[in-house]
Each structure stands twice: as structure tokens, then as C-alpha cells.
Structure 1
């Protein structure tokens, strides 16, 4: 009974946790409060650094004390972030808010998906894990779409702060829902399986699975590129001469187009290898991103939509691959390791992107992201040539 309820509650949490009207005017609000592109990138780096520090410890905790306490804390920290942002007017206040967001993301990382997998396993339905991942992503996109439409409308007639207050309220509802969750598996025994043992086992796991590591890196690079595009599309539209009245519609579209890929990932991975699917995603998406860098207009804005359409299936594919092979005793720890690497690469990519976007143009920054996305493919190709 707890397992079935967990799945339903996780869908509810996903909806309210994603119902954030602030996102549609985020860059405009930050810019209004004095935050430049470089300042924003610096906060992204702070986000990545905090995640690096907390990722693995939070994953280990989720495997030891339970998924639920980590999920509760993660959602709470996200709410604190919005409470700070409402009144923030300096770089360090924004940085503090982002630090709370990073800590919250670290606590949620691994714990949410581990609880989903545990609940499905309790129902003997673990093979449907990536099916639910895709639908949870679709729920998040629909929620973000509704928030974007309403947030864009509110921004035309109300102070931008109203969007942040509504986001705080929605996060609080998600926080209340977290108390309905229940852990469904026996936790790691403190005596027989130490914390250092969990970390050692996680490292050994990845050493034994080089093919999985490659798939994860494919997902990481395209995921990073998609993340930066989603962060800065508002400034891109400004450069393209597209008015604020179109922002809500455009944001809604870039959310909705990610749903087909998320829903199709489960069916496609039964017919094709995950590595092949991710390679297609990268090549088609990167082509669209390069086009957007050369055509900073409505056509370039459309190309960004196509890029995010291709990237939509990334998360179900890579997390499905990881959890299929994961050991229950270190399930959350393994996903935390994956997230740790993601944020380590984020710092590298963010530094390059921020420098180029600030010193040159945002479009050239997008070009950098396109090149960065194909790095794993190029490394793989060079290794194959050397082996021959």
C-alpha cells in the first residue's frame, strides 16, 4: 500500500515542485536586481561547487537513514531559496539563495529516484522505472507550462515579485506532500556496511561498467547544454528582437516539446541501444544549436526548440540505465556520484560559456555549448582510431 501511495505522491510533488511562475521571468528579474550574465554564471558555478561538496554525502545518507528525510529537506531548502530571492538585491544574496538551492538539489538527487525504484520493486514492476521517469518528466513539463503561461501574464500587469511569491507557495505545497511518503526498503546496516564502504562500492561499480559510464557522459554533456540554453533563452530572445509578450508562449513551447521524447524513451530503448539513441540526440540537437548561433532571430529561436525536443529523452535514458544495474544498498549513492560528475563538468563548461557569452555574444556561447556536447563522441572516435 505504501509503495502505491509513494508513486502517486511523487507525481503530486513533481507537479507542485515544478509549478514555478518565477522561471519565465527569472533572467529579467535577476537583471532588474543588478545581476549580469557573468554574475549568473558565477552563481551557476557556486551551485555546482555546493553540489560537489554535498552530492555523495547526501546519497550515502539516503541509503542509510532513508529516502524520505532527504526528500523533505531538499524541498524545504528549495523553499528557502525562493524566500531569499524575493528580497535579494546583491550578488551575495543571490549566491546564498543558490547555495540553498544546490543543497536542496543534492538532498533530492538520488533520493527521489531511489524511492521510485524501491516502490516499483516492492510491486514487482521495476522494469517500468524509465516509463515512470518519462511520465514524471512530462508532469513537470506540463506544470512548468501552466506556470509559464500564468507567470508571463502576471508579469505584464503585476510586479515580478508576485511570480516569486506564487513559486514559494507552490513549493510549500510540495513540502507538505513529502510527509506522505514512506520508505519501502531495509536500509544499510551501520555495522556491516560502513559509509566508506558505500563509497568504495560505488567507485568499484563504475569501474566495472565502462559502457554505462560512457552512456552517462553522453547524457551529461547534452544535459548541460540543454540546461544552459534553458537558463538563457530569455536573453537570446531579447537579442533576437522578440518582445516580452511572446516569452510565456515561447517558454511553454520549449517545455511541451520535451514531453514527446520523455514519453517515447521507454519504448525506443526497447528497440534501439541507449548509446545509439543518445548519439542521435547529440548530433541532431547540436546541429540545431549551431544554427541558432548563426541565426539570432525567429529561425534561431525555432532551432532552440528543436534542440530541446531532441534533448527531451536524455534523462529517462541515462537514469534508467543506471538504476537497472544499481545495487539497492547504494542506489542513491550511485546516482549522487553521477550528479557529482555532472556538476564538476558544469563548473568547467560554465566557466567557458560565461567567458565567451560575456566577452563576445550569447550566440557564440551557444556555439561553445554545441562543441562541448560532442566531446564524448570525439573522444570515443579517437580511441577507436588509436586501437586500429
Structure 2
């Protein structure tokens, strides 16, 4: 059955798509090619800005023509990114690589999870969607762990470019695997709606779901903080005087610690409210970030691990909440809207973080992230949520 095969293939694609040894030395490679912290943040802002333009149209397209074409194209564009990075030595070349990454991320955003949910729905197992999200995240973490250990070993013995060649090869393997995916039959008449109607319905959906919007807001705050920490942990370890030989082990640890949260999210949300769980993530995560900003040493590095341990359950919780309530006609469009807002906030938060980290220190930037992550809790008393 196509639905069962889709689920299995998505797991294998996730493994190869995440088997990227370049990540363990990414910031060092970029720095070697002349990219400063501010340059990196600027490319992140380019990513966010272009994503704002592509995100919703790509989601609408996935709902109209099907999930598979968007997934195939998205993975291909990610491969092209690595091909460009292999020869990049200027800001604009790195910017071009990021542009392909944006296109790939936009096409994949919503389409992958929409195909997973549609496939589960065919099997009458849509209730296990966040369970599979947690397992898919675990597969990604295991793959990234393998890539981290091997990538760190290679970085010590061979040129950094070898890690990028292997990353390109693995992404191309994921690209080939995307052709094994099959479209899932959906109710007749779904495509009779125009693109403008799809967008209007998506906006109307969010207006009617204030409690869900708040949960997504929490996810955005935690996700952005975690994203910047994962982007700059290498430079943090350099500031902490930790040798590069430990980088692979450290990266492996920050990946592995995210697995328990991803696996436990499905069970925990049956016992506790999602908002309560996410509030706990914010409080523990902010405390860990504050410690990392004050103690720039092994203690601070351990605090980073604790932060990512708490953040591990975020994605299954927020995306599970979104897809449980989503209409299948606009499923990918809804997730694209969520990603659109994420990238819009990223531009503002990235500007603040980049300025602070460049003007002062990276550790001070982490303090900024701690403050930023608690914003949802600060505004919560002023928000009326109709459940």
C-alpha cells in the first residue's frame, strides 16, 4: 500500500538528509572562507526574508499539485546548496547557496508533514502523527550524531571540504529516494478552490484558534533560541577554550539529548496540557541560557546541553497540535503560514542577536536569547484564549 510505503520511505529519507558531516565544522568552514558572525547572521536574515516570499506560495502549491513534487524539488535544492558552498569564498556566493537552501526549505516545509499525516489518515492512524514526528526527529538526531562523530574525526585528518563532499553525496541519496514516494488520494473536489481562497481559509483558521496560535508562538520563541544556539555552539566552545577534538563528541551529545524529549512528547501530552509542557521548556531553557552566558567554560557548555534537552520535545508538540486541527485541504498551507511567521520573527531576533554578539560577546548574545525566549510568558496574562 502506498501509504505504508510513504511512511517507511520518509524515515529513510530523513536519515540520509540529516547525514551531514559538514554541520560539525560549518561555522569554522565559513569563518575560514572569510565569513564573520555578522555575515552569518546576515545570511540567516536573507534566508528569513526570502522565506517570507516563498513560504506560503509553496505550501499552497503543495496542497494543490501534491506533496511529492515539492519534496523532490526541495531535496534537490538542498543538494545544490552544498555544491555551491564547496567553491564559495565571498559573502554573495554564500548568499547564493543560502538562496537555494531557502527554496529547498520552502518546498519541504509543510509538504513532508502533510504527506505523513495524509498517509496516516489513509490507514486511520492520524492519532499517532506526533508519535511519528518524535520518531522521525529521533532518526534525524541519530543520523546527525553519526555525521558529527565521523565529521569531527575527518576534520582533524583531512581538509574541511571532504565533509562537504560527503554531505553532498548523502543529500543526493535522499533526492533519489524521494522518487519512491507516492501521492495519497484525497477527497474529490479539494482542488476546486482557488489559491486566494486557500490563503483566506488558512487565515480564518488561525483567527478561530487563538489557543493554538499561542502554542505556536511558544514554539517559535523556543525554536529560534535553540536554532541560534545550534548555529553558534562551535564559536562558543572556541571562546570557552575547548579544543576542536571535542567538537564531534559535544555535537553528538547535543543531538542525543534531544531524543528523550522527542520520544516522550506523545506520552506526556496525554497527561499534561501542551501549554504547561512548553512553559516548562521555556523556564528551564532560559535558566540554562543565562548560565551559559555567565559561565563561558565547561559549565556553560553543559548548560547549553540542558537547554537543548528541554527544547527536544517542542517540535512534536507544536506540529502535532497544528495538524490535529488542520483541514486536509489546506494542511501544507497552514504549516507554511507557521513557518512564515517563524522566519519573520527570525529577522527581528537575528538582528538583535547579531548586533549584540558582534558588539559585545557571543555569551551576551545568549543572554539576549534567554530574555527573548520568555516573551510568550510575559505576554500570556494579557492574552484571552478562547478554547
Normalising by the residue count of structure 2, what TM-score does the alignment of the two structures yield? 0.98
Aligned to 2:370: 370
Matched, 1:140 2:140: yes
Equivalents in 2 of 1:266, 1:179: separation in Å? Answer: 30
- Are 2:190 and 2:329, in contact at CA under 8 Å, matched by a contact in 1? no
Matched, 1:286 2:286: yes
Equivalents in 1 of 2:95, 2:189: separation in Å? Answer: 37
Equivalents in 1 of 2:152, 2:323: separation in Å? Answer: 37
1:380 Cα deviation (Å)?
1.0
1:142 Cα deviation (Å)?
0.2
Aligned to 2:214: 214
Aligned to 2:356: 356
Name the Cα RMSD after superposition: 1.0
Aligned to 1:177: 177
Give the number of aligned pairs.
Answer: 384
Equivalents in 2 of 1:332, 1:110: separation in Å? Answer: 4
Could you give the per-residue CA deviations for residues 4-39 of structure 1, whole angstroms, max 9, x where no partner exists? 000000000000000000000000000000000000
- Are 1:49 and 1:344, in contact at CA under 8 Å, matched by a contact in 2? yes
- Are 1:64 and 1:189, in contact at CA under 8 Å, matched by a contact in 2? no
1:381 Cα deviation (Å)?
2.5
Please give the secondary structure, in 2, of the residue aligned with 1:87: coil
Aligned to 2:152: 152
Aligned to 1:116: 116
Aligned to 2:63: 63
Change (3 A) 1:284 1:188: farther
Unaligned runs of 5+ in 2: none
Unaligned runs of 5+ in 1: none
Aligned to 1:298: 298
- Are 2:64 and 2:191, in contact at CA under 8 Å, matched by a contact in 1? no
Aligned to 1:199: 199
Equivalents in 2 of 1:282, 1:99: separation in Å? Answer: 31
Normalising by the residue count of structure 1, what TM-score does the alignment of the two structures yield? 0.98
1:382 Cα deviation (Å)?
4.1
Could you give the per-residue CA deviations for residues 135-194 of structure 1, whole angstroms, max 9, x where no partner exists? 000000000000000000000000000000000000000000000001113278587311
Aligned to 2:10: 10
Matched, 1:276 2:276: yes
Aligned to 1:40: 40
Equivalents in 2 of 1:331, 1:291: separation in Å? Answer: 39
Equivalents in 1 of 2:45, 2:187: separation in Å? Answer: 33
Equivalents in 1 of 2:266, 2:348: separation in Å? Answer: 31
- Are 2:218 and 2:376, in contact at CA under 8 Å, matched by a contact in 1? yes
Change (3 A) 1:266 1:191: closer
